[in-house]
A and B are shown apart, each in its own frame.
Chain A
Amino acid sequence: MANIFGTPLKRREDPRLITGKGKFTDDIQLPGMLYAAMLRSPHAHANIKSINTVNAEQADGVVAIYTGKDLQGKMEPIPTAWLPPDSNIQTPDHPALAMDKVRYVGDAVAMVIAESRYAARDALDLIDVEYETLPVNVDQEKAMADNATLLHDGVENNLAYHWKAGSVAEEVFDQSEVVIKQRFRQQRLIPNPMEMRASVADYNSASGDMTIWCTSQNPHIHRFILSGVLGIPESKLQIISVDVGGGFGCKIAVYPGEALVGFAARELNRPIKWAEDRSEHFLSTTHGRDVILDVELAGKRDGTFEALRIKNIANMGAYLSTAGPGVETILFGLITPGPYRIKHAQVETYGVFTNTTPTDAYRGAGRPEATYLIERMVDLYANEIGMDPLEIRRRNLIGKDEFPYDNALGLQYDSGDYERSLDKALEMLDYEKFRSEQEEARNQGKYIGVGFSTYVEICGLGPSKVAGAVGFQGGLWESATIRVHPTGKVSVFTGTSPHGQGEETTFAQIVSQKFGIPQEDIEVIHSDTDRIPMGWGTYGSRTTPVGGAAIAIAADRVLNKAKKIAAHMLEAAEEDIDFVDGSFQVKGVPDSAASFADVTLQAYVAWDLPDGIEPALEEQAFYDPDNFVYPFGAHACIVEIDAETGEIEIKRYIAVDDPGPVINPMVAEGQVHGGIVQGVGQALWEGAVYNEQGQLLSGTFMDYTMPKARFFPNFEAAFTETPSPVNQLGVKGIGETGTIAATPAVVNAVIDALEPFGVKELDMPLTPEKIWSVLQNGRKTE
């Protein structure tokens, strides 16, 4: 059989998803189901003086109304699950419904349960809440000031944590020939998966069993946390998240919504559904980024980097979301030196509470922030010393013979060949030709630019002992169960939770390759805690390098047992059996063979098994990786700027990514394309805007620009395949590369195009008006 690993199979998920046959949380209909609606605070910061629900209770169809005090003693506040060590982290209570105070516009104040979604929504308008407004903090730097109003009692300076890694002596900077200092502002982004969040809870008062369907990227983490919040043993709590319409990180967190439906289902002994609408999503689902970065990069005049020092002031929003504190610390900080040889590095992060929606992971989670700052700094450094941005990269990129490479902040990059991906990108680009075209264009008053991003990311989260050491309140290993049925058909159970990435297809390819059976004979099952033993979900580009690797190990175990049975069937010694093209063969006797299906049937009927071999054919693996994996690559972007209006057009986008061996090039390219679109979205269009009162001005798609297909040229995507030594498949993850690499590539291209105007830094998003302002200032005098 030909290799199926590496084949661009069409995604098996798609017929179901594009013909409306998917089963999403909001599709769940249960007999007697009631509907929840949340009353959300219109104020960013206010004391709640009183809540009057009398009128709402009498409205048609209303069954119950709950406020914060009704939850007391019946459910716990929503916890944070990432507590970076030695950071003096403060974890003030995050009640599912506000108690005496609201802390952001969108903070839930009351929950109405009614016979229909409409009745529940209408009743919200009948609840009377008396607020006493308080001064508002929106900007994290201002919120840290001594005179700022505090959000949480006892949290001085609104400082949620202060984390630090690495250390660079002051002399290193003092004595360096070149020191570049720059402040970057990474604007706040609002993740917008096609499906918004929803949850349905069904409680059996006789058995005490609770089932919660919810839009989760990690149902077992939801079970773990909700079990504690609701006081239900994990053995009686089932979480199901089968079809989830995208997450991009915003469906990692455990939110008040899913806990509240569980609470209400138990109180009322009826199933409860809650589904947010898009307006609610903008306000109450976690946001991403929103950091202020003060960066210094020091080195020699010949372009050799020596030291990096970073201060990150991160806006955490009003409460610490589930993984929020890990994003701008561990996931951001340790990778900031990027793919460059930088001997000394120091990074610290101040996480600050503000009266805004809580922030948490958003595609890339910390690594886009890190990559943006180092890739921008590299260009600024090159500009300062008058060196070509590619030459300075080549001078500092870690060489392929230097792996494993220990970076200055304690990460060990497992493998890499950074110049190879850069070379490939340049081959596609024709750099010399571009530079001469650029020169010519400038002479005619036209401005085109090229930007690069040579990146490395930390993926495949991750070794559990490291997870523990960095304060993640869980493990990061993965489970796989492979159940071969008597007929030779296979069910694969993964602890990861694909929600659009395509692993139902690619995981089947892994198993098909292992067993030599058609991929159609393999089903991939996920995202149901009663069917999957345990798992940690899908995020951090971990699904394939950790979950896929676990499947490969379980498959090997199946083959190992099958081989013993086959040897017995073929009356040969085990070591004389070869497994070729899905068939167990006696070495040198091709006619003496048993197919995979023959062997599995024998395993199940068990009429004649070798001594000591148990019946059935089902194996499990709990795989904990020894290290993270480090995908890398080189992206290049060419932009043209409309010299009259400042509009930016992306003329070409070249992406060379190295995710290790590619299981399915079409799926991998799809991931790259989507990632680029989101990365460019940050560079050019997206951005949450709050006014000083903490009102979200960009709270609808009228004002928050999502990238659209027509904004882009055809992407030119290619791969290099450097296998990681960490897992047996050599795979490294491809889900976040685009988002991580694209943002700085685009900004570098725009700054390059604007070089004649002497501009060095612009805050994202690079709106046409900002560019126009630069153009208005005129070209610098040569």
Chain B
Amino acid sequence: MIANTFAYERAVSVDEALRLLKESGGDATVLAGGHSILPLMKIRLTTLEKLIDISRIPELKGIQQKGDRLEIGALTTHAEISKDPTVKETIPALAEAAASIGDIQVRNRGTVGGNIAHADPASDLPALAVAFDANIDIQSTEGTETFTAEDFFLGPLITAIPENSILKTVSFAIPPKEAKSTYVKYAHPATGYAVVGVAAAIGQMEDGMITYARVGITGVGDIAFRAEEVERTLIGNKPTEDLVQEAAKKATEGQEMGSDLFASEEYRHHLCQVYTKRALNKLLF
């Protein structure tokens, strides 16, 4: 639990951070809340030459609604997201997910940017990112590049972030006004990570007809995915128990389930459907 010797520098602006990254010639990694990188270093799963601390860069913090998107600075903590009135108003599922991460200490230190950039397959926020068309802005000295969640998450702990660049903001598409959203998860009892986590949003017409449906699922496979078959099954129909049952059954369609000491592939498959159903039931009934 003792990291190898590494260099450390603190950047006060994004420009400085980018300069320091470039100067280090690919040997440096960005440190924000430290809740992913430091444990990896301490158990020596990774050895790093240099950490560039971006945790005190003011321009990377904050939550604002910009039109139909909710834009969140990379350094915004889970605690801040979970308590933010705009988040609660526009995408309550995001506030619920942030509130379910780790424990109080983790939520006070861990950041949305760090969480997304780490791309842990059991992490909660990627479910929200895929469900709500997240745009992930990556800045380098060349400029800013925007990735969709689909293009961004490439595998477990693997993302499309190019070298010498910084995840600057994550923005989520705000569901239509009439839509409700939620996040439910089966938390691993050891860690609180999602064994399965389901972010869902449903919009209905006054007669109950479902016009909008989004379902993002994390924890069960290598990367979070959007369960489009579930959405398609719901849209254009009035909600019934049978419809929800039928839709939830499609949550695992085309997806490979992981397995570990806690839950087999078969059990994850089952949990994925059950928790999808629960998320939908919570919104519909």
Contact = CB atoms under 8 A, between A and B. Distances in A.
Interface string B171-195: 0000000000000001011110000
B206 to A, nearest CB: 32
A396 interface: no
A205 B211 CA distance: 84
Contacts of B190: 685, 701-706
Contacts of B262: 703, 767, 769
Interface residues of B, number: 19
Contacts of B270: 645, 772
A41 B157 CA distance: 29
Contacts of A117: 2
B274 interface: yes
Interface string A692-715: 000001101111111010010000
Contacts of B189: 685, 705, 708, 711
A708 B9 CA distance: 37
B43 A697 contact: no
B267 interface: yes
Interface in A757-781: 767-769, 772
A703 B190 CA distance: 6
A708 B186 CA distance: 16
B105 interface: no
A645 B273 CA distance: 10
Contacts of A689: 261
Interface of B: 1-2, 4-5, 43, 186, 188-191, 260-264, 267, 270-271, 274
Given A122-B4, A278-B1, A644-B274, A769 B264 contact: yes
A118 B5 CA distance: 8
B196 to A, nearest CB: 10
Interface of A: 117-118, 121-122, 277-280, 644-645, 647, 685, 689, 697-698, 700-706, 708, 711, 767-769, 772
Contacts of B186: 645, 647
Main SS at interface, chain A = loop
A25 to B, nearest CB: 17
B93 to A, nearest CB: 21
A769 B263 contact: yes
Given A711-B189, A772-B267, A703 B5 contact: no
Nearest to A196: B1
6 nearest CB pairs, A to B: A277-B1, A705-B190, A121-B2, A769-B267, A705-B189, A644-B274
Contact of B43 (A122, A698, A700, A703): A700
B271 A645 contact: yes
Contacts of A703: 190, 260-262
B2 to A, nearest CB: 4
A704 B191 CA distance: 9
A616 B2 CA distance: 53
Given A700-B43, A702-B190, A769-B264, A118 B2 contact: yes
Given A689-B261, A772-B270, A702 B191 contact: yes
A705 B190 CA distance: 4
B22 to A, nearest CB: 28
B285 to A, nearest CB: 16
Nearest to B262: A767
Contacts of B264: 769
Nearest to B42: A277
Contacts of A697: 261
Nearest to A767: B262
A701 B263 contact: no
14 contacts: A118-B2, A280-B1, A645-B186, A645-B271, A647-B186, A685-B189, A689-B261, A698-B261, A701-B190, A702-B191, A711-B189, A767-B262, A768-B263, A769-B267
Contacts of B271: 645
B274 A645 contact: yes
A132 to B, nearest CB: 25
Contacts of A122: 4-5
A198 to B, nearest CB: 13
Contacts of B188: 705
